[in-house]
Structure formats: C-alpha cells, structure tokens
Amino acid sequence: MKNPHQFVREDEDMTDIGKQHSATSSSTSSHSDSADVALKHIVDGFVHFRNEVFPQQEELFKKLATAQSPRAMFITCADSRIVPELITQSSPGDLFVTRNVGNVVPPYGQMNGGVSTALEYAVVALGVQHIIVCGHSDCGAMRAVLNPDSLDKMPTVKAWLRHAEVARTVVEQNCSCSGELETMQVLTQENVISQLQHLRTHPSVAAKMASGQLFIHGWVYSIETSEILAYDAELDRFIPLDGSGPTPMASPKARFSAD
C-alpha cells in the first residue's frame, strides 16, 4: 500500500504537469495563431494586389513580362523596415534590388555568391548606370559588428560581417564618439564607404566607371525621419540628399571616353 502522502505528491505532480502542459499548449497555440494571422495578412495583401492594384497597372506589367531595363541597382540591408521602392517612389522594373545583412559587397574573388553574381549581371547584362549602396539607422548588423561575440550562435552571419571589419577598425581607431548612438551612426557611414571601395574591385564595375558609363552612390537612410545622407567623394563626407542641388556622387571622374 502506498503512503497517502505519496498519493498527494503524485496528484500535485500531475497537477503541475497538467498546468505545464496547458501553458505549453497555450503558448504553442498562441504562436500558431500569430503565425496564421501573419500569413493571412500576406495572402490578403496579395489578393488585394491582384484584384485592385494589378488592374490599374496591367499595361506596365505586360511590358515587364518579357524584359526588364532597370535604371539602377540598389544594394541595401535585408532589414524589413527598408523598402527601396517605397523610399525612392520607384515603379516595378525601375530598380534591380539586392539585399543582405549589413548591405555588404564582398571584394571581387572573395565570395562569388549572390551579391557578386547580381552585381555582374546588373552591370554587364542589364547595363545599369547607377549603383546605390544604402545603409540605414538602427542597423542590427552594425550593432553586431561592434559586438562580434553576440554572433557566436550565428557563425554564418559572423563570417559574412567580416566584410565590415574595416569600417569597425576605422571607427575604433579614429572616432572619439560620445556614445553608442554616435558610434553606430559613424560606423554605418564608414561601412557604406567600405562597401563602395569593395565595389570598385569588381572588374565589370571598375571598367564601366573608368569610362563614365557607371556611377556609384553611398546613402544612409534614417528610418525615424526619412532623411537620406549621401556620400560626396569630392567633399569626402555625407551631406543631406534633398534635391536642392547636384546629386552627391561617390564616383571619381571618368578617365576614358565611352567611345
């Protein structure tokens, strides 16, 4: 015969297990419900696009169905808050967009993956005239660059962000920043400059730049204010992009004639 207290303890244990199971089930159910709501929002968005938006731009999509001729390549961060087409008010077919963590451009030959492939295709096959590298405020990738130990559980991301180490070194050795916010701002700008330098190591880019057929630009977008700072190579600093004067350029002057 079992000790009566043992029965009580077993009953209490079963009650606790039941509570834990109920809590786990509730959490799982809540997570599942949240995932379902998120997916439904996406599907509803598509249905709205198909039924309301597409008919208004059907002629444009008919033209785009067989060819594309984007005016620019836009390299930016994978951050969900950055929407190049919205920021620039571009139409479908205007921008050839490439996104990755930290708006990184690996130097030529170091990593022949998505960015390098897209870059070569944009320049050689599509003949884009402009390449914009766009960083942004509150960038998690830049925060991780400052705190590399935070990426120990994400080795792939850690390896990828080594392409931003030059920017971190420049900031650490030269910037007497007053705090994390200023450090992040300066690092974000220096990372854009570093990726512009990487761009010029790609033969297809360098050749088109030398003949004045391709121009590169470095931007930093503020999520909170919508402002963009653009890198001016002649002034060697970032200035507001406000349309009031010539667009700041990160490209040196052409050395050869396109003819």
Residues serving a catalytic function are 77, 79, 81, 136, 139
79 is in an annotated binding site: yes
Beta-carbon contacts of 151 under 8 Å, excluding residues fewer than 6 positions away, are 144, 157, 158, 161
Structure tokens at 204: 């297809």
CA distance 76 to 257: 30
Q: If DSSP codes are grouped into helix, strand and coil, which group holds residue 230?
A: strand
How many CB atoms sit inside 10 A of residue 15's CB?
10
177 is in an annotated binding site: no
Sign of torsion, CA 93 197 168 106?
Answer: positive
The burial class, CB within 10 Å (0-12 / 13-18 / 19+), for 219 is buried
* Nearest residue to 204 (alpha-carbon basis) of 99, 119, 98: 119
175 is in an annotated binding site: no
Range 198-203, long-range pairs (CB < 8 A, 24+ positions): 198/105, 198/106, 198/107, 198/108, 198/163, 199/105, 199/119, 199/131, 199/133, 201/107, 201/108, 201/109, 202/108, 202/116, 202/119, 202/120, 202/123, 203/108
139 is in an annotated binding site: yes
Binding-site residues sit at: 77, 79, 136, 139
Binding-site residues for Zn(2+) sit at: 77, 79, 136, 139
